[in-house]
Structure 1
Amino acid sequence: MPHVKFRTSSGDQIYFKDNGDPEARYDILKLLIFGDGNIQEIKVGSFDKSGYDGDQLFVNNTINLLSPYYSEFAHSRCSEPCKPGFRKAKVEGAPSCCYTCVMCADGEMSNITDAQSCTKCSKYEKSNSGRTSCIPRDINYLSYDEHLGSTLSSISVTFSITCAVILGIFIKYRETPIVRANNRYLSCLLLISLMLCFLCTLLFIGRPTQICCLLRQVTFGIVFTISVSSVLAKTLTVIIAFNATKPGSKLKKYVGTQLAILLVIVCSLGEIIISMVWLASNPPFPEDDMLSDADNIILLCNEGSDCFFFCIIGYIGTLALLSLIAAFLAKDFPDRFNEAKNITFSMLGFCSVWGAFVPAYLSSKGSRMVAVEIFAILSSSAGLLGCIFIPKCYILFLRPELNTKANRII
């Protein structure tokens, strides 16, 4: 039987396999079953495994295979195709043709059907919401164009102009007792440094550059040190002046401007030395943060060394704490123009702001982290300006009789 081969009259070749089985040859029939029980067979194709060219499947495309009872084919597959944006994932314990569709992870995409794996976007791109393509990541930094940046810059300029106006008032009324009290030169120096404190916040707004990153923390640290050391010097001026009036006191030779200015210079030199060591050893530089936010590229200033940054904050905080203690000790000295109470309130506010700054700064990122520092600078500077100088302006313009009758401390 395995050697028998012949052709029929129709031209079909007949042969048998080793066990005497003929090769498979099938007609594909479409059956129409009518209501009266009759069945009509229509040949729509064939399958022939006996040809020399391999398996042959033929389907007559001119015949409507589905009508009149069906509108579509039944799919002979285990799982539906995975759409673009998804990838195949094998189902444990199921045949290899069975799988589930898993959406591409954030930062990946697939733009074909039944993708085996997702394609990772470049570090400058992110995947769209459908995970079908990569789009550029947004750039994040505190800009003058956004509401937060424009609001903070407007507040900064407004307060600096206020400082300039008060400075002009103090220069005009420089010979009055209220201005001369507690050292008028220190008052002018404090106003100038506060004006610079407000203006230095502008270095924090805008796209970070090399020069801005180098200057902003150093400038902030130095001008704030001058401000706080001026407040400390004013407080010590009050203490020395009142103790110098006691009989036999040796503090009379320290009453005056020289000691206060020297104290400001010495305190400022300490901050300048820290800043110079910082810039020489590990200076700040602009950096693109790709990891903190998957959707945004955060442009920021890498401080180079967090240790030096918090050394600057700690140095200023130490001076503020000394000023608070000194002002608290001098707050009950009997004089109409004693600034110790005002300085105590201003230093309480100052220390509260910067005490809350550290955890808020460490828990923020991107433009919000910069905004936290700007807010701390503006609020603490405004506290000094309001507590120390607004009462003086009130007396100058609304209670001039107090200015003419009061004793003064020079």
Structure 2
Amino acid sequence: MKEQINFFSSVVSKLYQHALALVFAVNEINENPNILPNITIGFHMYDSYYDARMTYHTTLDLLFKSHRFVPNYTCDNQRSLIAVIGSLGSEISLCMSDVLGLYKIPQLTYSSFAPEENGKAQFPYLYHTVPSESHQYRGIIQLLQHFRWTWVGLFVVDDDSGEHFLQVMEPLLSQNGICSAFTERILKEAFWRTDTEMDNMGENMYLRLTDSKARTCIVYGEMMTILLLILITNFLYKEISLGNVWIMTAQIEFAFASIQMDANLQAFQGAISFTIHSNHLLKFKEFLQMVKPSRTQGYGFLKDFWEQAFDCTFLNLQEKEVHRICTGEEKLESLPGPLFEIGMTGHSYSIYNAVYAVAHAFHAMYSSRSNHRVIVEGKILQFQDFRPWQLHSYFQGIWFNNSVGETVSFNHNREMEDGFDIMNMVTFPNNSFLKVKIGSIQHKALTGEFIINDDLIVWHRKFTQIPPVSSCSNSCQPGYQKKKKEGEKFCCYDCVLCPEGKISNQNDMDDCFMCPEDQYPSKDRDVCILKVIHFLSYEEPLGTSLASAAVSFSLITVLALGIFIKHKNTPIVKANNHVITYTLLISLLLCFLCSFLFLGQPRKLTCFFRQSTFGIIFSVAVSCVLAKTITVVLAFMATKPGYSMRKWLGKRLTNSIAFSSSFVEVVICTVWLATTPPFPDFDMHSLIGEIIAECNEGSVIMFYIVLGYMGILSIISFTVAFLARKLPDSFNEAKFITFSMLMFCSVWLSFVPTYLSTKGKYMVAVEIFSILASSTGLLGCIFSPKCYIILLRPELNIREQLVRRNK
């Protein structure tokens, strides 16, 4: 014959599925030969009536056989108690723990606790078959963020747990960009208030719900909290639906089970509730179908539950008038959802796991020795010698799979690591309802493991926008940023356009931001557009025109060089130094061709050579002009009698002037390239929408030294030519050199301010134009008169014309 152990669960009769889950688990264990094969598990049930005084009374009652309570005293009257399961409310569980902790009796609770309430030192014998409330807090935040609900109302029970909820939740809301529109505390004792006080409370709640933009309301409390909320909505609005989204915490999951048949639940259509995770137990439904008062003995409160659920009365000879007689054959599955749920709910599933946890812990302790013996402190103990405190070490290491294959164990905080299910409440006209699972929060929710299926949600029929909007201000569209309203919470704001140069690409951004360097804001300031690379290319009209001009003038220069080479024996050609003339023409040809170094996207090689090449070639050209000018002046002066410098005239002087003047520029450019050479670079900021591909000069000072030296040579050449302009026309070319150098200096004097005032490809175009214009001026003014005489006036190309003097 099996021996019997008793452990107890404190339940509320209105939530009778909790009691039936306990009975179902006990029956399964007793029928399982693998768990405690020679021991029968029994139970007793007590109702706390949600009252602290009654809780202490019943807790002491289950500890002792007599009705005389002697706290902190163990006597022979003490029951052979192994463990206690209860209750739905954290406050009631803590009251039980005050007494049970004195005797080190394991207490398994299926109510959620705030982390601060679940102190390991303060309640060392309390075990939780539900996850910590902190996971639920984070889940609420993730739900609000998922639907972008930033303006919410809070309804909380007016007790310590409700106050703690506010202390934790309000900072969490603020940290995640969410504001509480209002906070309404619901008194537990409100049911015992006068009609006037109820009217005032209902009117206050009505104003909260209708005047606020908060379409989302979070309800935290227990059964009495939601019952009062339902009572007020029914009392005030009757058939009127408020059109709110109600988010309910796991503690009030079963509150609807006690609603009377005439209660109107339409205001709660589409409510979203967090529930303790549960799993479908097929045998549990079969068990419920077998529950009948006539067939069941020892199920506490079954008669009271049956009469309340089916609105009937069992036949009693003492009662003369009976509204309706209970047959005892009524079916539980016929009851609507507000009165009883056939599917195993989260708290019932937690009780089911709690019973199995106790059984497995005791099995682990008991199976260490056969024949009902266990060695404790070196002494062989019989079954009746077991004490509840001996189970604690086995609870810490318990680990098993329940009947549906889910792992059950306690973590270091004595909590079962499970998650929450997210349910959607669908109401029907007959006030029945259906709970549909729409998501879940795993026990790793703090790391963001949040799952929800929007398509499964049935919203309140009054909503015109799905999902509904719950915010203090209208959403700021991309291109705008939020601006806080003075004197109001940060969730209330105006929308202002992003500042110039910044964008916002999401709704409700606090601040606009700058685009990356290679992008620029769109016109609406809502997106960054990739910048195009800006440089003077051959394909565009400006580049094509400059390239064509460079080629054309290069061909003209080659033609002039060919004419001079062909007529090198004529007097007008011989009168000029062949070397200087050819060098000048070749340098002018190279000047035209060096324009191509400035066209196209800057590369490392082109950047390295183009400015130095330009400077050296132009210095050679100007040096040749200077040499020609000085030669003309000296040659005219040498014709005077007794002139002592005649011996210096000749090609050596001319070549020396040209070479020495050019060599200085070569030295300057060599130093520049050796120390801070130019390199390709990108200017991201000068032009909107474009990236300027340019050559960074490396050293701006060296660049202007190159230009400055070339300018000095030009000014000297122009000055000498200007002073010699009145020499006889038939003898010298000083006038032509004067005109050419005047044009040359004018071009480069206007180049500097123009170059500094432009950006990008237009800066390059200015430099190319200056190169072409100044080179053309030298070519045209110096060589076009000579080519004219050679080709069109050959009669003037004779020695007599060159040596003739004006009288």
Q: TM-score range by the shorter chain?
A: 0.7 to 0.9
Show the counterpart of 2:233.
26
Show the counterpart of 1:406.
801
Contact 2:535 2:761 in 1 (8 A): yes
Distance in 1 (alpha carbons) for counterparts of 2:529 and 2:634: 67
Greater shift, 330-339 or 16-25, is seen at 16-25
Residues 238/44 of structure 1: CA separation in 2 closer, same or farther (3 Å cut): same
Distance in 2 (alpha carbons) for counterparts of 1:221 and 1:275: 8
Deviation at 1:134, TM superposition (A): 2.6
Show the counterpart of 2:601.
207
**For 1:26, what is the secondary structure of its paired residue?**
helix
Name which of 227, 237, 240 aligns with 1:43: 240
Distance in 2 (alpha carbons) for counterparts of 1:321 and 1:241: 21
Count of aligned positions:
384
Could you report, residue by residue, the CA deviation over 1:195-217 in whole angstroms, capped at 9, with x for unpaired residues? 00111111111111111111111
Deviation at 1:108, TM superposition (A): 4.1
Show the counterpart of 1:397.
791
1:226-241 to structure 2, matched below 5 A, reads: 226-241=620-635
Deviation at 1:181, TM superposition (A): 2.7
Contact 1:144 1:205 in 2 (8 A): yes
Is 1:331 the equivalent of 2:725?
A: yes
Contact 1:128 1:134 in 2 (8 A): yes
Show the counterpart of 1:87.
481
Residues 86/240 of structure 1: CA separation in 2 closer, same or farther (3 Å cut): same
Show the counterpart of 1:268.
662
Deviation at 1:294, TM superposition (A): 3.9
Name which of 711, 714, 728 aligns with 1:317: 711
Contact 1:82 1:101 in 2 (8 A): yes
Name which of 268, 283, 286 aligns with 1:58: 268
Residues 339/398 of structure 1: CA separation in 2 closer, same or farther (3 Å cut): same
TM-score when scaled to structure 1?
Answer: 0.83
Is 1:340 the equivalent of 2:734?
A: yes
For 1:376, give the aligned amino acid.
S
Show the counterpart of 2:505.
111
Deviation at 1:53, TM superposition (A): 2.9
Instruction: Name stretches of at least 5 consecutive residues in structure 1 with no aligned partner.
Output: 4-13, 31-40
Greater shift, 194-203 or 97-106, is seen at 97-106
CA RMSD of aligned residues (A): 3.4
Deviation at 1:269, TM superposition (A): 0.8
Q: Using the aligned pairs only, state the percent identity.
A: 47
Show the counterpart of 1:126.
520
Name which of 574, 587, 591 aligns with 1:193: 587
Is 1:16 the equivalent of 2:190?
A: yes
Residues 212/45 of structure 1: CA separation in 2 closer, same or farther (3 Å cut): closer
For 1:58, give the aligned amino acid.
F
Name which of 526, 532, 537 aligns with 1:138: 532
**For 2:495, what is the secondary structure of its paired residue?**
strand
Is 1:359 the equivalent of 2:753?
A: yes
Distance in 1 (alpha carbons) for counterparts of 2:252 and 2:753: 78
Show the counterpart of 2:568.
174
Could you report, residue by residue, the CA deviation over 1:7-49 in whole angstroms, capped at 9, with x for unpaired residues? xxxxxxx95279764455135999xxxxxxxxxx963458899
For 1:16, give the aligned amino acid.
A
Deviation at 1:370, TM superposition (A): 1.2
Distance in 2 (alpha carbons) for counterparts of 1:332 and 1:372: 35
Show the counterpart of 1:6.
none
For 1:26, give the aligned amino acid.
T
Residues 193/202 of structure 1: CA separation in 2 closer, same or farther (3 Å cut): same
Distance in 1 (alpha carbons) for counterparts of 2:241 and 2:189: 25
Could you report, residue by residue, the CA deviation over 1:59-107 in whole angstroms, capped at 9, with x for unpaired residues? 58999869xxx99xxx996643211222212233555443222333455
Distance in 2 (alpha carbons) for counterparts of 1:371 and 1:316: 20
Distance in 2 (alpha carbons) for counterparts of 1:398 and 1:340: 22
Instruction: Name stretches of at least 5 consecutive residues in structure 2 with no aligned partner.
Output: 1-50, 52-187, 199-227, 256-264, 270-426, 428-457
For 2:268, give the aligned amino acid.
F
For 2:801, give the aligned amino acid.
A
Show the counterpart of 2:89.
none
Contact 1:178 1:337 in 2 (8 A): no
Residues 306/16 of structure 1: CA separation in 2 closer, same or farther (3 Å cut): same
For 2:240, give the aligned amino acid.
K
TM-score when scaled to structure 2?
Answer: 0.44
Structure with the greater alpha carbon radius of gyration: 2
